[in-house]
Amino acid sequence: MSILSIQGLSKSYGKIQALQNLSLDIPQGSAYGILGPNGSGKTTLLGSLLQIIQPNSGTFSWNIPGYENNPRMGIGALLETPNFYPYLNAVENLTITARIKETSGSDIQELLELVGLWKRKKSRFSSYSLGMKQRLAIAAAMLGNPSVLIFDEPTNGLDPQGIAEIRVLIQNIASMGKTVIMASHILDEVEKICSHVAIIHNGVKLEDGLVGNILKDQIIIEIASETHPDLQSVFSDCSWVTRIEKQNNVFVLAIESHMNPADVNKFAIEKGVVLSHLYQRKKRLEEEFLQIIKRNV
């Protein structure tokens, strides 16, 4: 069942077309990534869904069980920078947020424990690290137990430890059965967190679906040779090699799914090439993303 259906959404700012006839269906209970470079329309899309931004055309409809008459009450959101009173502590800030959201605030302790801030509940917001501020903002978004969580670039600006903490937290939230919609330009984070992804560029949806389905079409092989440094010329005319490019000290081959590393090695031997490195790895979302963007430029 789709918890959100978007049909032909468009939004322009003067001559800039932020969204162009974008349509999506987001399944209930999914962790859905909206993936695109900065300026691709991700924030405009989320702002439209939260009725902060008025699109020029198109429609969208929420189907959140228990919130049919007022879908917005079933949504928790974190857009851009966390905004709290710096001189108040975590409990005080969440109590104010609960009043604004018209919820009881009875879940404040539970949420602070979930985001790992209960031991710092009495510390002023101004004393928090950037990662702690982001975790408090996620707790605020979850007040009242919404069914849908919307996060816009939740790891933006964080150090590696902060990124890892937010990633694990969002994975835990998704495992509760909630629908998570996350916009990001960080491909690795989307691949690790999300079950589904929509790739957008210049306001246009280029591809969408299960992350695994988008990545399963080809096999990726890394190769290198100490005796033949120019492997591109060796494999460039091979019919089952769909792409070859040099990355650092190895060549990366994308080969058709019916082939395997043994076929690559056999072909190299027939060409008189001894491979010093041969490794099959999972195709990365980053590689697919760049190829999709390249095909649509």
pLDDT digits (tens, 9 = 90+) for 259-293: 888 999 999 999 899 999 998 876 666 666 666 76
269/225 same-domain check: yes
Domain boundary among 158, 185, 214: 214
Whether residues 163 and 267 share a domain: the answer is no
> Could you tell me if 118 and 227 lie in one domain?
no
pTM for this prediction: 0.78
Tokens 């501020």 -> residue: 133
Note whether 79 and 129 are same-domain residues.
yes
Fill in the DSSP letter of residue 194.
-
Q: pLDDT per residue over 75-108, tens digit each?
A: 999 987 788 999 999 999 999 999 999 999 999 9
> Environment class of residue 38 by beta-carbon count within 10 Å: exposed (0-12), middle (13-18) or buried (19+)?
exposed
Tokens representing 95 are 């109590």
Residue 39's pLDDT is what?
86
Give yes or no: residues 276 and 145 share one domain: no
Do 227 and 193 reside in the same domain of the chain? no
Q: Judge if 221 and 210 occupy the same domain.
A: no
At 270, list the tokens: 């027939």
CATH number of the structural domain spanning residue 178: 3.40.50.300
Q: How many CA atoms lie within 13 A of 162 on its CB side?
A: 16
Same domain, 62 and 125: yes
| Least-confidence region, from 39-53, 119-133, 144-158, 247-261 | 247-261
Q: How many domains does the chain have?
A: 2
pLDDT band at 36 (very low <50, low <70, confident <90, very high): confident
Q: Do residues 271 and 191 both lie within one domain?
A: no
Please indicate, yes or no, whether residues 15 and 117 belong to a single structural domain of this protein: yes
Average pLDDT rounded to a whole number, residues 227-235: 86
- Domain residue limits at 289: 217-296
Residue-wise pLDDT for 186-223, tens only, equals: 877 888 899 999 989 899 998 898 887 766 556 788 89
What are the distances in angstroms from CA 161 to CA 129, 260, 295? 11, 37, 35
